[in-house]
Chain A
């Protein structure tokens, strides 16, 4: 075991504090900006802590009064929820049977490898025909069309996670149910799906995070409040003529809250999901 060297211990604590500061400082500043009065943010020298916390921007963004900054923001929030929800549901419905099939019948696995290899494709390689196709179908600036496009990202990933999940469920349990006369659907309902529920939940959360984070396709395929997602709305704010930087920060905090909460609550599951690919190689 490591000898307890006081100099080494002190070094470890200094590094730990430094790491915590590097992680936390930018995040803390985002929050402080969101509650600082505009005058404090424009002051020179900059005021690092607001004289009085001002939460009015949160109310402003979450209000649904017509033609306000809030109306655009809440519309994009709703669009993001709809797109992420639809795309995740569809991805899971595709991934469960496909993941199970590859797990139980490895001879078809090469088709999944091909699907996963598409991860290498830069979205720009698909974007022009997808744009023309959506335009032809009348699905540009439409949450349903965007959700369908998100399957290019979500479906390969969830199928791969489901396949690894099914791999860890012994096929002997399924075989026993089948010998007792259960059909495939019955075996799934009674044995496989209940055992796979945690993996389904993890896959769904990953899918929601990916959809929530997506920007490129949303930028290309949406143009107004009917379909613009949160990421595009925030990029608009950041690149626009908004003079109140606190408002931009507030939008950032609100958009970051759902994934950050999911990340904190699901830490263990997410980390094992993230690292399993890496550790197993």
Chain B
């Protein structure tokens, strides 16, 4: 069979997928770019060309800079916590103890729980009047009065981060555990014989095996966290006083609540650009980590 026919056949087999992807991703993306240079409304007017007005308005608005800071803070803290807790949990699950198989099985539960159900569950736990957190903390005499965890700008973002971590650290743990199980036993045994302490064994023997998979998990989780919408929408809708508003929620408000499709589109593209820059920087880092670990 000739190479050209093989290639032609491959393209023919890919054609249905590519056509659909152009229809539901390619075209909308191009159209978002077009819209971002207009003052189009979501419904009604097609809008006029306004040049870079939308971009300059968005980039100079205090809403944007404040939301960028909130989103970055959410992403950095929740992903860092998920990575640390996830690796610690994986190290634990790699020890031998009774009930280990059951505990490993439980780790799939938070991951399988739908994001919206997770958000609803934590919203109920944080409820200012009847929530379990207030009840538990008062009954243990840790706090005196019930507090509105999601209703105060000082605690709302932290409360969201805890809820996000609870759902996502088990995935990091499962990825890290799979990598730990790939560490050859004779290598750790040899390090032990050579007198390496627990910290040195982790740093020099185990961590090189973990680095690659953890970098991939870090990249995926950071991109997800930067795009965050669902959990915040269900728990706080970006409030109180916009203290938990993420970039995706700001785009939603601009394009759908205020129906300003043009400026919403420009904001969406700014977010896309930020995520892309992040992803490309990370990809370079992954390649470097993979290279040095090999």
Contact = CB atoms under 8 A, between A and B. Distances in A.
A274 B95 CA distance: 22
A27 B24 contact: no
B13 interface: yes
Given A26-B122, A26-B166, A275-B174, A245 B127 contact: yes
B128 interface: no
B114 interface: yes
Contacts, number: 290
Given A29-B125, A129-B28, A12 B95 contact: yes
Interface residues of A, number: 99
A275 B213 contact: yes
Contact of A23 (B6, B25, B29, B170): B170
Contact of B178 (A212, A239, A278): A278
Given A42-B130, A45-B139, A234-B116, A270 B216 contact: no
Interface in B20-70: 20-21, 24-25, 27-29, 31-32, 35, 42-43
A128 interface: yes
Q: Which of B35, B112, B272, B275 has the most CB of A within 10 A?
A: B112
A122 to B, nearest CB: 4
B73 interface: no
Interface string A123-144: 1111111111101000000000
Interface string A101-138: 11011011001100100111111111111111101000
Interface stretch (A56-64, A145-153, A191-199): A145-153
A22 B113 contact: no
B142 interface: no
A71 interface: no
B189 A209 contact: no
A135 B229 CA distance: 23
Given A26-B122, A152-B25, A279 B179 contact: yes
Nearest to A20: B103
A213 B216 CA distance: 22
A145 to B, nearest CB: 11
A122 B106 contact: no
Contact of B216 (A133, A235, A267, A278): A278
B196 interface: no
Interface string A1-25: 1100000010011011001101110
Interface stretch (B75-83, B152-160, B250-258): B250-258
Contacts of B113: 27, 256, 259-260
B241 interface: no
A264 interface: yes
B248 A235 contact: no
Nearest to B211: A281
B31 A129 contact: yes
Interface in B212-239: 212-217, 223, 226-227, 229-230, 233-234, 237
B124 A126 contact: no
Interface in B101-145: 103, 105-117, 119-125, 127, 129-130, 132, 135, 138-139
A118 B10 contact: no
A16 B97 contact: yes
A161 interface: no
Contacts of A129: 27-28, 31-32, 35
A177 interface: no
A234 B117 contact: yes
A90 to B, nearest CB: 8
Contacts of B92: 12, 15-16, 19
A26 B125 contact: yes
B90 to A, nearest CB: 11
B272 A125 contact: yes
A235 B115 CA distance: 11
Interface string A78-120: 0000000000000001110110111011011001100100111
A2 B264 CA distance: 58
A129 to B, nearest CB: 4
A249 B268 CA distance: 34
Contact of A130 (B16, B28, B175, B237): B28
B268 A215 contact: no
Nearest to B275: A120
Contacts of A75: none
A255 B174 CA distance: 24
Given A46-B130, A125-B32, A155 B227 contact: no
Interface of B: 6-7, 9-11, 13-14, 16-18, 20-21, 24-25, 27-29, 31-32, 35, 42-43, 89, 92, 95, 97, 99-100, 103, 105-117, 119-125, 127, 129-130, 132, 135, 138-139, 166, 170-171, 174-175, 178-179, 182, 189, 192, 212-217, 223, 226-227, 229-230, 233-234, 237, 247-248, 251-252, 255-256, 261, 264-265, 268-269, 271-272, 275-276, 279, 286, 290
11 contacts: A16-B103, A30-B121, A97-B13, A129-B27, A133-B27, A159-B17, A212-B114, A260-B113, A263-B111, A264-B105, A275-B175
10 closest pairs, A vs B, by CB? A263-B112, A46-B135, A105-B10, A129-B31, A101-B13, A275-B178, A129-B28, A101-B10, A97-B13, A278-B213
